[in-house]
Amino acid sequence: MAKTEIILTSNIVGLGGESDQVKVAAGYARNYLFPQRLAIPLTQANKRRLEALRQRRAERESHEFNTMSEMSKGLAKLVCLIKVKAGEDGKMFGAVTAGMIADELKHQFDVSLDKRKIHLEHPIKTLGEYEVELHLHAEVKGTLKVRVESTTPPPVIDPAVAAEAKKEEGRRTEKRGHRGDIFAPSKPVTAEPKVQADKGEKAARPERAPRTAKPDRAPRAERPAKAGKAE
C-alpha cells in the first residue's frame, strides 16, 4: 500500500498533534485527512507553516492542561450516583462500565468527559462506593467517587414502630420468665429408685417370718366304757 508523508494541522488521537510529520496511507490522506483539513502534504511551501503550527499546538496543550487540572479538582468533590437493578442479596444484574459513568456525569453534573479517560481495571459488579481513577491528561490524573445503589432499596422502618415492636418482644420474654418461675418446683424432687426384676423373673417377694410351733395339747382322758346292756 502506497504511503505518503504529511504534516498534521490538528491533534488526531493515535496519530499525532499539530506540526507532526507522519506517514499514512495515500488513500487515507487523500480521501479523509486533506478534505477535513486535518493535514497538509509535506512540501517545501508547507514546511514554512510548521512554526505557526507548533505555536498553536503549545497553546492548545497549555489550555488542555489547565482545563483538566481544574476538572480534576472539581471531580474529586463529586459523588456520582449510579442506580442499578439488584437482587435482595445485593447481587447486581449486569455491571457498571466507564461509559455508564460518563453518561451519569453528563446527566447529573453536566460534565462532558470522554469515557476513555475513566480508568476501570474491571467493570463494577457489586453495590457499594468506589474510587475510580481518571486519566485526564498526560500530566494530570484524578479520582472520582462512584456510589452504586440498587433501584429497589430495602423498606424503611419507622423508628417508633420498631421501638414498640421491641418493647412488645420484651414483654413476651418477661411473661415467659414468670410462667417458668410459677411452675418450677421449690425443692428438687428426686425419684426413689425402683427395684426392677431381671428379665424373665418376677420381683422377689419379702420372706415371711417362720411360724412358731403350737404347744402340744394334753392327751384327752379316756372315757369309761359304757356298761353293757343286760343280757
Categorize the per-residue pLDDT at 178 as very low, low, confident or very high, splitting at 50, 70 and 90: low
Q: Residue 141 forms beta bridges with which residues?
A: 135
Task: Return the pLDDT at 161.
Answer: 67
Task: Return the pLDDT at 86.
Answer: 86
Categorize the per-residue pLDDT at 157 as very low, low, confident or very high, splitting at 50, 70 and 90: low
DSSP 33: I
pTM summary value: 0.55
Task: Return the pLDDT at 213.
Answer: 55
Ramachandran area for residue 171 (φ above 0: left; ψ -120 to 50: alpha; else beta): alpha
d(CA 150, CA 141): 29
Residues 104 and 125: beta-carbon distance below 8 Å: no
Task: Return the pLDDT at 158.
Answer: 60
More confident residue, 183 or 139: 139
The answer to whether residue 173 scores a pLDDT higher than 70 is yes
The answer to whether residue 79 scores a pLDDT higher than 60 is yes
Categorize the per-residue pLDDT at 230 as very low, low, confident or very high, splitting at 50, 70 and 90: very low
The answer to whether residue 153 scores a pLDDT higher than 50 is yes
Pick the CATH number of 73-150 from 3.10.430.100, 3.60.21.10, 3.40.50.720, 3.90.1140.10: 3.10.430.100
| Residue 39 C-beta-side C-alpha neighbours within 13 Å | 27
Residues 146 and 96: beta-carbon distance below 8 Å: yes
Task: Return the pLDDT at 35.
Answer: 94
Task: Return the pLDDT at 97.
Answer: 94
Categorize the per-residue pLDDT at 228 as very low, low, confident or very high, splitting at 50, 70 and 90: very low
Tell me what the mean pLDDT of segment 31-59 comes to. Answer: 90
Which residues fall within 8 angstroms of residue 23, CB to CB, at 6 or more apart?
3, 4, 5, 6
Q: How far is CA 126 from CA 76, 146, 147, in A?
A: 22, 12, 10
pLDDT tens profile 117-133? 999 988 899 999 999 99
The answer to whether residue 169 scores a pLDDT higher than 50 is yes
105: how many CB neighbours lie within 10 A of its CB?
A: 20
Task: Return the pLDDT at 190.
Answer: 52
N- to C-terminal Cα separation, the chain:
186
Q: Give percent of the chain above pLDDT 70.
A: 71
**Boundaries of CATH 3.40.5.10 in the chain?**
3-48
d(CA 80, CA 196): 81
Q: Residue 126 forms beta bridges with which residues?
A: 91
Q: Residue 51 forms beta bridges with which residues?
A: none
d(CA 71, CA 118): 13
Cell digits of residue 18: 499539530
**Boundaries of CATH 3.10.430.100 in the chain?**
73-150
More confident residue, 194 or 107: 107
d(CA 90, CA 101): 20
Nearest Cα to Cα of residue 90 among 130, 148, 146: 148
- Spell out the CATH class of 3-48: alpha beta
DSSP 94: E
pLDDT tens profile 197-227? 444 445 455 566 556 555 556 555 555 555 5
d(CA 205, CA 225): 54
Task: Return the pLDDT at 170.
Answer: 75
pLDDT tens profile 17-44? 889 999 999 999 999 999 999 999 998 8
Give the torsion through C-alpha atoms of 20, 21, 26, 30, to 10 deg.
Answer: 50
